[in-house]
């Protein structure tokens, strides 16, 4: 007989959205406030871990059909690629730049290439974290 | 009384209430006899205590700096949802692993069901072997 997990699963469905939203907020706030790629990635990892706790690994794998080893690799690639990109503009490796643009909804926004580097960091953290958790969880 | 004084009083009362509730909850964890009553003290009053403190903080920053902190609202919502569920899961795990109720308890409605469930499990295990 399977244990009855209705309360845990229902709350997980609501809470995961809050956690992932907060992760995106932390990721985008990293330039001017506490936050950034690393803790953004860690919060996403914790949200996914909550899903793995409430449901079994197979059903989460069906819902999120992503190989997290590849996610980590893509993250490292993006981080290195932003560093290489600065070489194209005749500046040293990993130089960052920023500019102000008028976007349709947000108005005048500061866009920095550091966000791309942060994206790489976040993906690498998510990939590594979930891979570690899945490998030590036994039947993965 | 001006509006600023009223808001300051509300904020103070909210934060004091939150602190007192948290202290009461800690006292309850020390004094109550078994794990179920302790979880009762730990989840309910701490949740309300944290909610009061966060609400007081939210109002304070809203009034003094005009900053509506979404993070605090989200925190209130999050704690309000998750803390009781955590208490529920701890209690449930304790009951399923056979932690005894306090000797003062007189009724245990869940015992029958869990015993039946475990008997069935033992029977099906026997068949599999």
Q: Could you report the per-residue pLDDT of B28-39, keeping only the tens digit for each?
A: 999 999 999 999
Least confident interval from A87-91, B40-44, B115-119: B115-119
| Closest listed residue to residue A37, CA positions, set A115, A114, A122 | A122
Q: What is the pLDDT of residue B129?
A: 56
Q: What is the rounded average pLDDT for all residues in chain B? A: 89
Range with top average pLDDT, A24-33, A43-52, A88-97, B60-69: A43-52
For the stretch B78-87, pLDDT in tens is: 999 999 999 9
Q: What is the mean pLDDT of chain A?
A: 88
Among A121, A92, A96, A122, residue whose Cα is nearest residue A111: A96
The arithmetic mean of pLDDT across residues B99-111, rounded, is 83
Answer yes or no: is pLDDT of B102 > 80. yes
Q: Write the CB contacts of B93 (distance below 8 Å, at least 6 apart in sequence).
A: none
Residues of A within an 8 Å Cβ radius of B:
1, 7-8, 11, 14-15, 18, 21-22, 25
pLDDT, residue A57, reads 85
- Give the confidence band of A1 by pLDDT, cuts at 50, 70, 90: very low
Q: Residue A2: how many CA atoms within 13 Å on its side-chain side? A: 5
- CA dihedral for A134, B90, B30, B27, sign (positive or negative): positive
- pLDDT band at residue B69 under the 50/70/90 scheme: confident
Q: Give A-chain residues touching B76 at CB under 8 angstroms.
A: none
CA dist A72 and A78 (Å) reads 10
**What percentage of chain B carries pLDDT values higher than 70?**
98
Mean pLDDT on A106-127? 88
**pLDDT > 50? residue A140:** no
Answer whether residue B128 shows pLDDT above 80: no
Q: Tell me which chain A residues have a C-beta less than 8 angstroms from the C-beta of B121.
A: 1
pLDDT digits (tens, 9 = 90+) for A13-49: 999 999 999 999 999 888 888 888 999 999 999 999 9
ipTM over 0.85? The verdict is no
Contact assignment for B81 to A7 by CB distance below 8 Å:
no
* B85 with A8: Cβ contact below 8 A: yes
How far is it, in rounded angstroms, from Cα A33 to Cα B67?
Answer: 14
Q: Are A14 and B89 in contact (CB < 8 Å)?
A: no
Q: Averaged over B7-32, what is the pLDDT? A: 95
Q: What is the mean pLDDT of residues A104-111?
A: 79
- Residue B58: pLDDT above 90? yes
Nearest CA in chain B to A10: B85
Cβ separation of A1 and B89 shorter than 8 Å? no
The average pLDDT across B51-78 equals: 92
A8, A11, A18 ranked by CB distance to B74: nearest: A18
Best residue in B92, B110, B125 for a mutation probing chain A (most A CBs within 10 Å): B92
């Amino acid at each position: 007989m399977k244990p009855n997990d209705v309360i845990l699963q229902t709350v997980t469905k609501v809470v995961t959205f809050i956690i992932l939203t907060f992760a995106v907020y932390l990721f985008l706030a990293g330039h001017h406030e506490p936050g950034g790629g690393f803790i953004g990635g860690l919060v996403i990892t914790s949200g996914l871990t909550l899903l793995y706790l409430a449901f079994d690994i197979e059903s989460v794998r069906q819902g999120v059909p992503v190989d997290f080893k590849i996610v980590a690799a893509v993250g490292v690639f993006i981080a290195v690629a932003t560093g290489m990109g600065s070489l194209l503009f005749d500046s040293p490796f990993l130089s960052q730049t920023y500019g102000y643009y008028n976007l349709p909804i947000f108005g005048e926004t500061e866009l920095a290439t550091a966000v791309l580097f942060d994206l790489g960091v976040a993906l690498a953290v998510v990939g590594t974290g979930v891979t570690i958790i899945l490998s030590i969880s036994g039947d993965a | 009384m001006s509006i600023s004084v009223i808001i300051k009083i509300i904020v103070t009362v909210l934060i004091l209430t939150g602190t007192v509730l948290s202290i009461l909850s800690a006292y309850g964890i020390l004094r109550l006899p078994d794990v179920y009553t302790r979880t009762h003290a730990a989840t309910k009053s701490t949740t309300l205590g944290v909610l009061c403190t966060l609400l007081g903080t939210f109002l304070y920053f809203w009034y003094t700096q005009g900053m509506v902190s979404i993070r605090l609202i989200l925190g209130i919502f999050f704690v309000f949802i998750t803390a009781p569920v955590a208490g529920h899961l701890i209690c449930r795990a304790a009951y399923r692993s056979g932690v005894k109720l306090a000797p003062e308890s007189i009724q245990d409605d869940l015992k029958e069901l869990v015993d039946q469930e475990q008997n069935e499990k033992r029977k099906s295990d026997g068949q599999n072997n």
